[in-house]
Amino acid sequence: MRRHLVELAICALLAAWLLSGVRADEPVVRDEAVLARQATMKSAKAALAVLGEMSALRRHFDRAAARAARARLLEALSDLPDRFEQPYFDRHTRARPEIWGNWPAFLRSAEAARQAARGLRTNNLPALRRSLPAVMSACLACHSRYRTGQ
């Protein structure tokens, strides 16, 4: 029963995160490094949206689509260290300076998310439901530490 409640709570956090989206009043960023960073995070978010919708039964479970989403997520998470290697500070960034102030800790967080995504099981719906909370937990932990404006 407790595990079920934890899974529901994580799915609720996922839904809130996915629905947060980009606000209309956000400025347009023209820096190539930032655009690449944003594209990587949007790719991860889109992959998680597919998996989260399947897990929450808002989308029919499709093994091939789940595997494709997992592959996109792994690709995005593998690119994270490269995307954040160069500090970029402007008044609109949501990346906290702690990323670059403690680069080794950020790399450990990025690796934890990648390892959780590797453990994501897309064979069937019960396996997805069991393994998705670890991925969401790793992503949310990194965002809560290194991102402003959740």
Domain of 130 in residue numbering reads as 29-146
Has residue 64 been placed in a domain?
yes
Has residue 138 been placed in a domain?
yes
- Can you give the pLDDT at residue 106? 95
Q: In this structure, which amino acid lies at residue 3?
A: R
Q: Are 99 and 146 in contact (CB under 8 A)?
A: yes
- Can you give the pLDDT at residue 16? 53
Has residue 78 been placed in a domain?
yes
Has residue 126 been placed in a domain?
yes
What's the CATH number where 71 sits?
A: 1.20.120.10
- Can you give the pLDDT at residue 24? 45
Task: Give Cβ neighbours of residue 84 (< 8 Å, ≥ 6 apart).
Answer: 37, 95, 99, 100, 106, 110
Q: What is the mean pLDDT of each run of 10 residues along the chain (150 residues)?
A: 57 51 52 84 96 97 98 96 83 82 95 97 98 97 86
Q: How many domains does the chain have?
A: 1
Collapsing DSSP to helix, strand or coil, 95 comes out as strand
Residue 38, classified by CB atoms within 10 Å of its CB into exposed (0-12), middle (13-18) or buried (19+), is middle
